[in-house]
């Protein structure tokens, strides 16, 4: 027996997370997490980022993973704190992001008393998590934490929820666990390789890419395959992370609106999937198909998410004899002309293309406003483009926080609809607090514009005043400049192309967050 003071469970957790490479904790803690907070206080190595609502914390962890390629932790207060974070965990799950949630729980003896904050935390976690565990004792917390970090890194990335009863945090007996290896990705479907190589030939064949296939190097390989075989390239409707810009292989997207998607995919008779899923409708619409490809198309899944995408693309390139073929679709540096006058969807797209900074990160939740942005930004400075992959709005601002923390030397341009931005508006405060280099464009069309189209798509013609009212944000109009300033973020409004150009220059020149309200 020595007189070394014993470590408590919370301390073993913090040490283990840090040793396992987890460097950031996005949090809103409560009483049941106070020992964790105390451990974070006296153990160096974890950046703690406070969020005023847990949706900000989980969305930030998603953005962090996508850019850092390693998990952040979140620290959430019991069932309700986790519940507030669920919708952005949903988005993270659909993006294939790895997130390590640490969720406080009452002490084991207290749970049966059904105190006000008691809830079925495992039950709340399960629908949005790949891995759920409640640590039974201070002794097991370290090991559980190491396994949680490992589980978060199962390809492409998993949502992990580790529940920590407060007595397991405050009791002594904590044991720091060494880091566990990052699990290898599953092998791709090598037996389909020859068939895939044969399928790709001519403009009625499509190589559809997603997830890890959208790195600069993998797109370069896809470009070679396209050049050699004449196949077309497309990415999914929405991509967790896509490298783009002048000098890189350009790839289009399957459109969101169902009729455009059907039209786009109709020509393809042979489709090879790498990191992507077979295209389906975002929603079901009466009288329209749910599967968007030609019913007679042959679809070959060469490398589903979670498999070794890099190896699949390289092998396909070799099997296609394209190894030495120069890639097709390399985007030339080209910026649209400087737009003038009123802001339209087209002039806005041009303005954004001109403003994207070299090596910038574009966080895109521009919904209807942004449909024109993608082709026009093809030849802009090199940048990374991130989409909302789960469809739960309110992802953009939190994810921008995570991206900015993962990449402190890169500028983040956050493009968001006003309806989306309001979902997690508390993000602005965290941006100000952490002085994050994020320029935000809020597209103030004062409505859930997308739903006006959807009313027609589902067959509701001539919506009346009550329906229109439920999709409108103009009564009262939100004042985004005041909103931003109330949380310590400087802001300007832009009503013309000239205003917008000046505001973008100001915002991007200045270190720290800056919000531009784009009046539409």
Task: Give the 3-state secondary structure of residue 317.
Answer: helix
Q: Which of residues 93-112 bind a copy of itself (CB under 8 A)?
A: 94, 106-107, 109-110
DSSP state of 212: G
Q: Is 45 in the site for a copy of itself (CB under 8 A)?
A: no
Q: Is 158 in the site for a copy of itself (CB under 8 A)?
A: no
Whole-angstrom CA distances from 203 to 95, 259, 392, 510 are 29, 21, 35, 46
Q: Given candidates 7, 16, 20, 35, which one binds a copy of itself under the rule CB under 8 A?
A: 35
Task: Give the 3-state secondary structure of residue 345.
Answer: helix
Helix-helix angle 34-42:9-19, to 10 degrees:
50
Q: Which of residues 366-425 bind a copy of itself (CB under 8 A)?
A: 389-392, 394, 419, 422-423, 425
Q: Given candidates 6, 115, 266, 344, which one binds a copy of itself under the rule CB under 8 A?
A: 115
Q: Is 455 in the site for a copy of itself (CB under 8 A)?
A: yes
Under a CB-based contact definition with an 8 Å cutoff, are residues 273 and 307 in contact? no
Task: Give the 3-state secondary structure of residue 313.
Answer: helix
C-beta closer to a copy of itself: residue 192 or 481: 481
Q: Is 487 in the site for a copy of itself (CB under 8 A)?
A: yes
Q: Given candidates 4, 5, 181, 286, which one binds a copy of itself under the rule CB under 8 A?
A: 286
Q: Given candidates 6, 45, 120, 263, which one binds a copy of itself under the rule CB under 8 A?
A: 120
In sequence order, what E strands does 107-150 have?
131-134
Tell me how far apart the alpha carbons of residues 365 and 455 are, in angstroms, rounded to a whole number. Answer: 21
C-beta closer to a copy of itself: residue 294 or 479: 479
C-beta closer to a copy of itself: residue 120 or 346: 120
Q: Given candidates 38, 189, 195, 330, which one binds a copy of itself under the rule CB under 8 A?
A: 38
Pairing verdict, β 383-387 and 242-244: antiparallel
Q: Given candidates 34, 189, 311, 319, which one binds a copy of itself under the rule CB under 8 A?
A: 34
Q: Is 156 in the site for a copy of itself (CB under 8 A)?
A: no
To the nearest 10°, the Cα dihedral for 319, 320, 324, 329?
A: -140
Number of residues that bind a copy of itself (CB under 8 A): 100
Q: Give the bridge partners for 235, in sequence order.
A: 209, 253
Q: Which of residues 164-183 bind a copy of itself (CB under 8 A)?
A: 166-167, 170
Under a CB-based contact definition with an 8 Å cutoff, are residues 269 and 417 in contact? no
Under a CB-based contact definition with an 8 Å cutoff, are residues 485 and 440 in contact? no
We find the least distance from the C-beta atom of residue 493 to a copy of itself, in angstroms, to be 12
Q: Which of residues 62-91 bind a copy of itself (CB under 8 A)?
A: 79-81, 83-84, 86-87, 90-91
């Amino acid at each position: 027996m020595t007189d070394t003071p014993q470590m408590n469970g919370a301390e073993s957790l913090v040490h283990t997370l840090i040793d396992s490479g987890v460097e950031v904790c996005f949090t809103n803690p409560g009483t049941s997490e106070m020992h964790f907070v105390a451990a974070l206080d006296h153990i160096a190595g974890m950046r703690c980022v406070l969020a005023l609502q847990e949706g900000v914390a989980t969305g930030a962890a998603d953005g962090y993973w996508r850019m850092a390629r390693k998990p952040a932790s979140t620290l959430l207060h019991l069932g309700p704190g986790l519940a507030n974070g669920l919708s952005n965990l949903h988005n993270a799950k659909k993006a294939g992001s790895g997130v390590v949630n640490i969720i406080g729980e009452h002490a084991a003896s207290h749970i049966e008393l059904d105190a006000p904050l008691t809830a079925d935390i495992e039950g709340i976690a399960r629908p949005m998590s790949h891995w759920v565990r409640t640590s039974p004792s201070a002794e097991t917390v370290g090991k559980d934490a190491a396994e949680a970090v490992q589980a978060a890194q199962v390809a492409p990335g998993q949502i992990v929820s580790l529940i920590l009863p407060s007595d397991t945090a405050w009791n002594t007996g904590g044991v720091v666990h060494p880091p566990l290896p990052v699990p290898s990705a599953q092998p791709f479907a090598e037996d389909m390789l020859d068939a895939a190589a044969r399928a790709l030939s001519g403009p009625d064949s499509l190589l559809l890419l997603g997830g890890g296939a959208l790195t600069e190097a993998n797109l370069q390989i896809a470009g070679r395959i396209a050049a050699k075989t004449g196949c077309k390239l497309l990415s999914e409707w929405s991509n967790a992370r896509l490298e783009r810009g002048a000098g890189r292989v350009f790839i289009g997207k399957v459109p969101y609106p169902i009729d455009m998607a059907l039209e786009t995919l109709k020509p393809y008779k042979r489709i090879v999937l790498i990191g992507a899923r077979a295209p389906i409708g975002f929603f079901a619409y009466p009288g329209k198909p749910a599967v968007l490809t030609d019913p007679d198309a042959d679809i070959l899944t060469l490398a589903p998410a979670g498999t070794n995408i890099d190896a699949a693309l390289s092998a396909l390139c070799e099997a296609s004899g394209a190894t030495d073929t120069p890639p097709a679709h390399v985007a030339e540096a080209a910026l649209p002309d400087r737009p003038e006058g009123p802001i339209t969807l087209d002039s806005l797209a041009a303005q954004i293309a001109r403003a994207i900074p070299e090596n910038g990160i574009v966080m895109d939740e521009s919904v209807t406003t942004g449909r024109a942005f993608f082709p026009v930004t093809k030849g802009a400075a090199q940048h990374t483009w991130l989409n909302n992959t789960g469809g739960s709005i309110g992802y953009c601002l939190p994810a921008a926080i995570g991206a900015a923390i993962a990449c402190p030397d890169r500028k983040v341009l956050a493009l968001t609809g006003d309806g989306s931005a309001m979902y997690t508006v508390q993000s602005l405060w965290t941006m100000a607090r952490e002085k994050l280099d994020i320029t935000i464009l809020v597209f103030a069309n004062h409505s859930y514009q997308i739903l006006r189209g959807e009313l027609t798509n589902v067959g509701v013609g001539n919506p009346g005043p009550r329906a229109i009212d439920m999709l409108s944000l103009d009564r009262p109009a939100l004042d985004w400049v005041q909103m931003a300033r109330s949380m310590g973020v400087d802001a300007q409004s832009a009503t013309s192309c000239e205003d917008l150009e000046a505001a973008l220059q100001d915002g991007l020149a200045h270190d720290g967050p800056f919000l531009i309200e784009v009046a539409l």
